[in-house]
A and B are shown apart, each in its own frame.
Chain A
Amino acid sequence: MTTLSQTSKSFTFHWLRNMASTLSSPAEARELIRNLMLPVTGILVFLVLWHLAAPQVQTSLGAFPGPTDVWEQSGQLWQEHREQRARADKYIAMQEERNARILADNPEAAVRIRGYPGAPTFFDQIITSLGTVLAGFLLATAIAVPLGIIIGLNRHVNAAINPLIQVFKPVSPLAWLPLVTMVVSATYVSDDPMFEKSFLTSMFTVTLCSLWPTLINTSVGVGAVDPDLLNVSRVLRLSFWTHVRKVVLPSAVPMIFTGLRVSLGIAWMVLIAAEMLAQSPGLGKFVWDEFQNGSSQSLSRIMVAVIAIGLIGFLLDRIMLKIQQRVAWDQ
């Protein structure tokens, strides 16, 4: 196994060298190698160490999964997803066929198509989690940015709200969750609910935990507008709204975006914890179910989820960065 990693490593070097030789200038090639080499080396070293260390850790479910087990299981999960999809398609097709037959006999008949009742796959859970985190994050943003502007503009409001922020900011999602669950169950009563209760619980928990960085950064950004620019605004006699729109907000945009990026990171972390604890659909539930399942593959499958969670978190941050670069004037 060690030799395999070594061969793959030297293969990478060859590949890099070949690629470099096709580039026009040697300086360019050196630049590319320098930019790629260190991250690639870091990942390879990590994989090797992981590979070596994993078998040493024995658990009741067998040895801790190494990179190869995880790779295998990710393929397995994709396979399961495709099979499940195929079954679901068949199930729907069967219903449609049957409905068509019923309608042919009796055009007045009330027919409907029921969704496939099978368990959601790993990839379904990813989609669910992404939807929940975005909803929670958007709600947090919708609360935090306007509130942050008010706090930043007014010293008195700031003094009144700041202690509350300081107290609620460090609260763990696990503490909020039971309260949110109870409140959602008690207040969201509907015969034909638009949202699942579990979705609302996860979403509100994400909102409660992730709005603080945006709130704080927005208020600091709004409060830190260059005094010269404030004087320009006064000399021009800008109205309150024009002042906020044309001077305060643009000036605070870089800070707001920094807050949003931190918030989105927290939102994603909190969501996984909330889903695990609340058993609401999503990646967290996948992890918890696998843990409860306790088969010999469970640890590998959880590790696949861990890596997927990490990659998605990284991707979300990259997307925010791209948005920031498009919107913020200082980028």
Chain B
Amino acid sequence: MTHRPHLELTGVEMAFDTSKGPFVALDNIDLKIRKGEFVSLIGHSGCGKSTVLNIVAGLLQATRGGCVLDGHEVNAPGPERAVVFQNHALMPWLTVYENVELAVQQVFRKSMSKKERRDWILHNLELVNMAHAVDKRPGEISGGMAQRVGIARALAMQPTVLLMDEPFGALDALTRAHLQDSLMKIQQDLNSTVIMITHDVDEAVLLSDRIVMMTNGPAATIGEELEIELPRPRNRVTLANHPQYVAYRQSVLSFLYEKQTFPVSDSNTSESGSGDEPNETAAAKEEEETAEERKLRVIG
């Protein structure tokens, strides 16, 4: 790249204070992301993928180094870095429409008229095929539908970078595939920059322009990066036996299960470590990741 990167993480270190002294979760993370690029972060549980995402979101402050977006340092959360949470994080007391409205109201209060805002909310709900359920509450729709609304809410903020924290992790395989296809299409249409955390190797290869693989914590850092040069639009069925696809998949799997074998002893330390972690969300996520990984290990 000749021009300046769109989003840049430089020398990021993240240390949490625990009763046993500081726990260094991330160390020396350097990452440059181009505009319109789809980047996946993949790694074993407890390696700090969510921490990287939270630093970009501004929800956490790096203890050293920093994050620069379009020449501005990131030091607080903001709608230009919209986050899609793993469990949709919709307000259960608001309808689908009102949930998106809350975001649109906040971001476009001054720049859009009432009618424009309404159209924009409906437009984004249509993007994720949820316009039929505007008056439903999150409790009345399925997890997959709620996640679509979560994505619509994030898109409606018109973010410079879309941050997705295991957006499809809690969904069944069929729903997940369906949403992945929708996301690919939307991302291609809007040419938005996306950082996505995932556990799913297939998901990473299918969706990404680049896969960033992280080493195991503590003091996790970026192990390898893999450019995915598959033509778009991508089709999961035809790609399944595509030699290049298989090769990409192979190299991610080999990183995860040969170079960075699942840290058996680490599962204990990460659990005791997560208890000391000040951020409860991170701790809860860590536990979920561990459970997910165990499942993976049994299958593998």
- Residues on A lying within 8 angstroms of B by beta carbon are 226-229, 231-232, 234-238, 242, 246-247, 250-251, 253, 329-330
Q: Is the CB of A253 within 8 A of B89?
A: no
A236 cross-chain contacts in B, Cβ below 8 A? 79, 102-103, 106-107, 157
B34 within 8 A of A: no
Docked-complex contact B281 and A231, CB < 8 angstroms: yes
Given A231-B281, A235-B78, A236-B107: A329 and B92 within 8 A (CB)? yes
Name 20 A/B residue pairs within 8 A (Cβ), A-sorted. Answer: A227-B281, A228-B87, A228-B281, A231-B57, A231-B77, A232-B89, A232-B91, A234-B59, A235-B59, A235-B79, A235-B83, A237-B76, A237-B77, A238-B106, A246-B91, A250-B93, A250-B94, A251-B93, A329-B93, A330-B93
Alpha-carbon distance A205/B252, docked complex (angstroms): 70
A246 and B57 in contact, given A231-B89, A231-B281 (Cβ under 8 angstroms): no
Interface positions of B (Cβ within 8 A of A):
57-59, 76-79, 81-83, 85, 87, 89, 91-94, 102-103, 106-107, 137, 157, 280-281
B93 touches A253 (CB 8 A): yes
Q: Which residue of B lies closest to A253 (CB)?
A: B93
Ranked 4 nearest A-B pairs via Cβ: A329-B93, A228-B89, A234-B77, A250-B93
Alpha-carbon separation in the docked complex, A231 to B102 (Å): 14
Q: Which of B57, B87, B92, B137 contacts A235 (CB 8 A)?
A: B57
Interface residues of chain B: helix, strand, loop or mixed (majority) = loop
B92–A232 touching, CB < 8 Å: no
Write the nearest CB–CB distance from A247 to chain B, whole angstroms.
7
How far, in angstroms, from A181 to B58 measured CA to CA in the complex? 56
Q: Complex: how many Å from CA A294 to CA B83?
A: 73
Q: Across the interface, do B92 and A237 meet the contact criterion of CB distance under 8 Å?
A: no
- What is the bound-complex CA distance between A55 and B93, given in angstroms? 56
CB <8 Å contact, B89 and A226? yes
User: Chain B nearest CB: distance from A326 CB in Å?
Assistant: 13
Question: Known contacts A227-B281, A329-B137: does B93 contact A237 (CB below 8 Å)?
Answer: no
The interface residues of chain A, by DSSP majority, are classed as helix
A227–B89 Cα distance when bound, in Å, is 9
Not counting A235-B78, A237-B106, A250-B93, a sample of 16 additional A-B residue pairs whose C-beta atoms are within 8 angstroms of each other reads A226-B89, A228-B89, A229-B91, A231-B83, A231-B89, A232-B83, A235-B79, A235-B81, A235-B82, A235-B83, A236-B106, A246-B102, A250-B94, A329-B137, A330-B92, A330-B93
What separation, in Å, do the CA atoms of A42 and B90 have in the docked complex? Answer: 45
What residues on A are CB-neighbors of B79 within 8 Å? 235-237
A237 to B58, CA, bound (A): 11
| A235 and B77 within 8 A (CB) | yes
When the two chains form their complex, are residues B59 and A232 in contact, meaning their CB atoms are under 8 A apart?
no
Report how far A329 CA is from B59 CA in the complex, Å.
28
CA gap between A232 and B280 in the complex, in Å: 16
CA distance A251 to B138 in the complex (A): 14
Are A231 and B91 in contact, CB atoms less than 8 angstroms apart? no
Bound-complex Cα distance A231 to B157 (A):
15
Chain B's closest residue to A230 (CB) is B281
Complex interface: chain A residues within 8 A of B57 (CB): 231, 235
Taking the closest CB of chain B, its distance from the CB of A324, in whole angstroms, is 13
Cβ–Cβ contact B85 & A228, under 8 A: yes
A237-B78, A246-B102 given; A231·B59 CB < 8 A? yes
Contacts of A226 in B (CB 8 A): 89
> B93 and A231: CB pair below 8 A?
no
Bound-state CA distance A246–B137 (Å) is 15
How many angstroms from the CA of A231 to the CA of B282 in the assembled complex?
12
Chain B residues in 8 Å Cβ range of A253 = 93
CB-nearest residue of chain B to A254: B93
Q: Please name all residues of chain A whose beta carbon is closer than 8 Å to the beta carbon of B91 when the two chains form the complex.
A: 229, 232, 246-247, 250-251
Q: How far is the CA of A330 from the CA of B92 in the complex (A)?
A: 8
Given A237-B79, A250-B91, A250-B93, A232 and B85 touching (CB < 8 A)? yes
A232 to B99: give the CA distance in the assembly, Å.
Answer: 11
A330 smallest CB distance to B (angstroms): 7
Q: Are A231 and B85 in contact (CB under 8 A)?
A: yes
- Tell me the complex Cα distance, A235–B280, Å: 18
B58 to chain A, nearest CB (A): 8
Q: How far is the CB of B59 from the nearest CB of chain A, in Å?
A: 6
A10 to B82, CA, bound (A): 68
With A and B bound together, what is the CA distance between A242 and B91 in angstroms? 14
Q: Which residues of B contact A250 (CB under 8 A)?
A: 91, 93-94
Contacts of A234 in B (CB 8 A): 58-59, 77
CB A295 to nearest CB in B, in angstroms, measures: 56
Contacts of A228 in B (CB 8 A): 85, 87, 89, 281
Please tell me if the beta carbons of A227 and B83 are within 8 angstroms of each other in the complex. no
By a CB distance below 8 angstroms, the chain B residues around A231 are 57, 59, 77, 83, 85, 89, 281
Which one of A229, A237, A238 lies within 8 Å of B89 (CB-CB)?
A229
Query: A246 vs B91: C-alpha distance in the bound complex, in angstroms?
Result: 9
Could you tell me the distance between the alpha carbons of A237 and B81 in the complex, rounded to whole angstroms? Answer: 11
Taking a contact as CB atoms under 8 Å apart, the answer to whether A227 and B280 are in contact is: yes
Give the residues in chain A near B93, CB-CB below 8 Å.
Answer: 250-251, 253, 329-330
* Bound Cα distance A79, B79 (Å): 70
A226 CA / B77 CA spacing, docked (Å): 17
| Residues of the A chain whose Cβ atoms lie less than 8 Å from the Cβ of B106 | 236-238, 242
